[in-house]
Amino acid sequence: MTTSPSPLTHFDAQGQAHMVDVGAKPATHRVAIATGRIEMQPETLALIESGTAKKGDVLGIARIAGIMAAKKTSDLIPLCHPLALTRVAIEFEAASARAEGVCGISCSATVETVGQTGVEMEALTAVQVALLTIYDMCKAVDKGMVMNGVRVLEKHGGRTGSYHADEDT
């Protein structure tokens, strides 16, 4: 049986999943920025902003969870390489219903390394786990929260160079 090489790098010529060999690639400075948001009731956002949530400092705990998640990405995603991250920064921005039409919190994660493979998965994992932590800490008062829009905004470094997401997507 003849098979053609897959354009997906995690599959070999026979279609079997494998970890990509990055051993021959040069180590370069790699950066990825991902974003996502969690929508919630205005009362839930007010609780988070006032610091009076029953479980404590929601955004502080979510920030730590996001950082930890970036560091543990290779434990969660089977074919990701374990990386020595040089920086993980998590930022939150609240949006009230009046200002944006949607009430919630946006999260962005910036992840950096000097290595042979990129950090997009680490940035995406950091955002998603930070948002999940917000949900976990506030679910007692708002089970209808919705997480969406998780995506890579930018990536820099490596053979493929830079990527910037379109503003409209």
The pair of structure tokens assigned to 77 is 């995603």
CB 119 within 8 A of CB 31: yes
SS3 41: coil
State the catalytic residue, choosing from 21, 75, 136, 166.
136
- Between CA 8 and CA 23 the distance in angstroms is 18
- Within 8 A by CB and 6+ apart from 106, the residues are 35, 36, 37, 92, 93, 95
List strands edge to edge, sheet with 85-95.
85-95, 104-115, 28-39, 146-156, 163-164
Whether 136 is catalytic is yes
Catalytically active residues are 136
